[in-house]
Amino acid sequence: MFWVYILQNPAGRFYIGHTDNLRNRIASHNRTDKISGKFTRKFGPWTLVWSEEHPHRSSATRRERQIKNWKSARLIRERLLRSNDSSLVESRRSRD
């Protein structure tokens, strides 16, 4: 299984990505050593606010690109985060 995910930092910035191991990837984003990426290291710590499961890497990559092409934090909040009333973190299964 693969996951598309959205992380958010305390300043409200979003980070969108995909992975085959969600728990390890989030831990990697929150590392503070020089091994992890510059953007996530500089602007962390990060919290998972949304995730969606996909059966194949190709469908996860397509969904990641779709979300990144929205180019707006407002659209992410409206289309993904506010659609879930019961909790901030939403996990969905892809229909692919």
pLDDT tens for the chain, 96 residues long, are 999 999 999 999 999 999 999 999 999 888 877 765 677 888 889 999 999 999 999 999 999 999 999 878 888 888 888 865 444 444 455 444
Q: Which amino acid is at 17?
A: G
Question: Residue 91 to residues 43, 72, 83: CA-CA distances in angstroms?
Answer: 24, 21, 12
CATH number belonging to domain 2-93? 3.40.1440
Domain boundaries of the chain, sorted by first residue? 2-93
Question: Residue 56 to residues 18, 28, 61, 70: CA-CA distances in angstroms?
Answer: 11, 22, 9, 22
* Beta-carbon contacts of residue 73 (< 8 Å; ≥ 6 apart): 12, 13, 14
- Enter the pTM of the model: 0.80
